[in-house]
Amino acid sequence: MTEPGDTEVFKCPHCGNETVNVLISFTAVDEMLELVDSRTHEIDNFLVESYFFITKCKTCNQVSVFTSADFDEMPYNLSSSFQIWPKNKVLGDGVPKSIEDRYDEANKVKKVSPLAFSILIRRCLEQLCKDKGATGKNLKEKIEDLGKKKIIPETLADMADIIRETGNTGAHGDKFKLNKFDMDVLDDFFIAVIEYVYVAPQRLVKIKDRLKKALQ
Ligand SMILES: [Zn+2]
């Protein structure tokens, strides 16, 4: 996918559909990278070519921007390139598929319905509690249980509880209207919980492992 008009099927970050995306524009930029050798402390300079792709989804007509560098494999696979726009978050490694699927559903409606988003992001939280074996009569108690079992610290439990509460309020009344910024807050809170529970522990294992091997 390097010529305008080229197409590729991948999951659109806007509408979440596995669909045809058309390359609108492609450009390459030279960049000088400075790498320091950790053992000798010598500095090496590399000229790296970075690529930027603008694509348009055939289903929702929204535009996305991706980047990759010349040390990436050819041919470019946009779905594995780094997404610059839209800035919606992608759940990292180690997150159970059941949660990832629900989060995708929530993201699909984010632009069109704050109410639906608040209810669906609350469901993601319910799934996390289930996955972590949290006990309690309702979601409030289950979140407290996550805190008691030290699966999440107090601040994250408070953040999770806000997701629970706004999802409830949305479902049972119209006194509190969520706006775009509220949705971003809920999204950020959810990602923070996910990072703490799933992503960071996995990253920690990986980097510890690499350090151990390097020092052997
Ligand atoms: Zn789309």
Could you tell me the domains of the chain?
7-85 (no CATH), 97-211 (1.20.120)
pLDDT of amino acid 43: 82
Q: How far apart are CA 157 and CA 142, in angstroms?
A: 10
- For residue 75, is the peptide bond before it cis, meaning its omega torsion is within 30 degrees of 0? yes
- Of 5 and 174, the structure prediction assigns the larger pLDDT to 5
- What's the whole-model pTM score? 0.66
Centre of ligand 1 from the C-alpha of residue 92, in Å: 21
pLDDT at 173: 63
Helix ranges (DSSP H) in the chain: 97-110, 114-131, 139-148, 154-172, 180-194, 200-215
Residue type (1 letter), 116: A
Q: How confident is the model at residue 21 (pLDDT cuts 50, 70, 90)?
A: very high
Q: Is the pLDDT assigned to residue 69 strictly greater than 90?
A: no
| Ligand 1 centroid distance, CA of 18 (Å) | 8
Give the count of beta carbons closer than 10 Å to the beta carbon of residue 131. Answer: 14
Q: Are 171 and 136 in contact (CB under 8 A)?
A: no
| Residue 180 CA to its chain's centroid (Å) | 18
Residue 48: is its pLDDT beyond 90?
no
Contact 1, 54 (CB under 8 A): no
Distance CA 15, CA 21 (A): 12
Distance of alpha carbon 15 from alpha carbon 96, whole angstroms: 21
Selected residue with higher pLDDT from 156 and 93: 156
The residue whose two tokens read 């408070």 is 158
Measure 11 CA to ligand 1 centroid, in angstroms: 8
Q: How far is the CA of 64 from the centre of ligand 1 (A)?
A: 9
Residue 141 has pLDDT above 90, yes or no: yes
pLDDT at 170: 67
> Which tens digits make up the pLDDT trace of 158-185?
999 999 998 887 666 667 778 888 888 9
Ligand 1 centroid, distance to 16 Cα (angstroms)? 6
User: Which stretch of 61-70, 82-91, 108-117 has the lowest confidence by average pLDDT?
Assistant: 82-91
Lowest mean per-residue pLDDT among 35-44, 67-76, 169-178, 198-207: 67-76
CB 125 within 8 A of CB 139: yes
Distance 56 CA to ligand 1 centre (A): 8
d(CA 128, CA 198): 10
How many Å lie between the centroid of ligand 1 and the Cα of residue 88?
13
Q: Work out the pLDDT band at 143, boundaries 50, 70, 90.
A: very high
